[in-house]
Structure 1
Amino acid sequence: MTNLNSIGLDVEKSKILAEKLNELLADYSIFYQNIRGYHWNIKGDKFFELHDKFQELYESLFVKIDEVAERIRTLGHTPNHQFSVYQKEAKIKESNEVSNGIKDVKDTLESLKIIITLQREILDLSADAEDEGTNALMSDYIREQEKLVWMYSAYLK
């Protein structure tokens, strides 16, 4: 029992999960700021629909950032909070061009691919650690984001 943390999970497996969740936190944080940039700066004939869709997405990301950070704390670790760390660790990079709707949607799809892939990795790790809390969170995120991929992809057709 000495190798279990306060919620009954293996200490070493929880540490590995927290590290991966911190990677996800970095990607979510950069993605969030990119989406806010798209929302603020979008131009053109699709302004109204994309402006609203980007707002929906960044509001959802805001909640997820908080949930991921709180999950890291629940596992007994510290969530990273420095943007300089996020920039180094994230696979998603800051967007420079934020007013071209088609490019913004393509970048959104690429970011979702990165995030879903990482969440699937976390899902596997959480299953191995018998961490139902993290597992449920990742399952919910993946299901929601797969639908977004379908919708944004359909928009581009």
Structure 2
Amino acid sequence: MSKKNRIGLDTNKTKELAEKLNILLANYSVFYQNTRGYHWNIKGDTFFELHVKFEELYNDLVLKIDEVAERILTLGYTPEHQYSEYVKVSEISESAKESDGKKAVNHILDSFKVTLKLQREILELSDEADDEGTNALMSDYISEQEKLVWMYSSYAGE
């Protein structure tokens, strides 16, 4: 017999889901800090354009970080908060100082590839757990990020 948490979901299924959400949280946190660095360090003829775009992106990422952490709490688990732990589990690596806009955009596109993959895995797990809250969150993130991938790819000339 399965045990249910306070929102009526199977605790065995939500445990795996919370673990995967913590990995997403780690990736988002590294992605966020990298994007702050791109924002701070961008130089050249695309400065005004990319400086604003990077700020929009890191502001969106910080909201997602909070939403993912709160979702982990809603499921009855604890979100990781130590950056040292984030670096250990994140597929997105900390970037070096980057002032070249094209390289920064390519790093951002690589980061989106990682988050989209993770979010699709979480979407599958949340579907199996009948977790509509996580499911809706991941669906929204995927739609938003697929559009951003198209836009950043267009900027990069792809």
Question: Aligned residue for 1:135?
Answer: 135
* 2:40 counterpart letter in structure 1: W
1:35-77 Cα shifts (integer Å, max 9, x gaps)? 0000011000000000000000000000000000000000000
1:92-131 Cα shifts (integer Å, max 9, x gaps)? 0000032110000000000000000000000000000000
Listed as ranges, the matches of 1:63-142 within 5 Å are: 63-142=63-142
Gaps of 5+ in 2: none
Which deviates the most, 68-77 or 92-101?
Answer: 92-101
Identity level (%): 67
Question: Aligned residue for 2:47?
Answer: 47
Superposition RMSD in Å? 0.8
Contact 2:2 2:12 (C-alpha < 8 Å) held by counterparts:
no
Listed as ranges, the matches of 1:7-46 within 5 Å are: 7-46=7-46
1:3 aligns with 2:27: no
In 2: Cα distance, 1:91 partner to 1:125 partner: 19
In 2: Cα distance, 1:121 partner to 1:141 partner: 13
In 2: Cα distance, 1:94 partner to 1:48 partner: 24
* 1:117 counterpart letter in structure 2: K
SS at match of 2:108: helix
Alignment CA distance shift 1:12-1:2 (3 Å): closer
Tell me the number of residue pairs that the alignment of Structure 1 and Structure 2 aligns.
157
Contact 2:2 2:10 (C-alpha < 8 Å) held by counterparts:
no
Normalising to structure 1: TM-score of the pair?
A: 0.98
Gaps of 5+ in 1: none
Normalising to structure 2: TM-score of the pair?
A: 0.98
Contact 2:41 2:97 (C-alpha < 8 Å) held by counterparts:
no
